[in-house]
Amino acid sequence: MLAFAKLFPKLAWHQTRLLRVMGVMNGVPQGEYALLEYYCEKPGCDCRRLLLKVWCESSPKSSLASISFGWESQKFYQRCWCKDEDLPEPAPGIRLEWPGEQLKLSEALLALVKRAFELDPNYSERLKRHYEMCKKKLAEPMKGTSLKKRHKRSKDQRR
């Protein structure tokens, strides 16, 4: 998965969703939580899902939860999922990603993220637009670079 910020750093700076918790809420400590977007970079894949990694200013070295968002029907994912033997088939909706790094706090953060989606229906539409932007950008040929080299280069950028 490739960070949206790698492809569109300025836009990510302005459009990354921040959730501010003013006091302890359902077990989530006070603080600001950023939802960083990650998209599939496999050539030809149209999985129509993304990963939100939840980061907090007080724990900047690792994400606190990995949450998947798929907006198509279960039937779509059964039919169109790009098969990976080590990954389970995704499901529609907002849920904890498996296998992702999950902590005790992850369930509470999942509830917070679901609430953010409920309060702002435009947020899911923005994420879908970002998905389309990423797919379009990744499909663009890079001058003098084969698709195989490009895929390797994007993996190297994540390290």
The pair of structure tokens assigned to 21 is: 């918790």
**pTM score, whole prediction:** 0.81
Asked whether residue 158 carries a pLDDT value surpassing 60, the answer given is: no
Give the integer Cα–Cα distance in Å for 153 and 37. Answer: 19
Hunting for tokens 């498996």 — which residue is that?
98
* pLDDT per residue as tens digits for the range 107-141: 999 999 999 999 998 999 999 999 999 999 999 87
Give the Cβ contact number of residue 55 at 10 Å. 20
Q: What residues contact 129, with CB distance under 8 A and at least 6 apart?
A: none
* Residue 155 pLDDT level (bands cut at 50, 70, 90): low
28, 64 contact by CB (below 8 A) = no
Quote the pLDDT of residue 85. 45
Asked whether residue 34 carries a pLDDT value surpassing 70, the answer given is: yes
What does pLDDT average to over the chain? 84
Q: What is the mean pLDDT of residues 60-83?
A: 82
- Which residue has better confidence, 25 or 15? 15
Quote the pLDDT of residue 142. 65
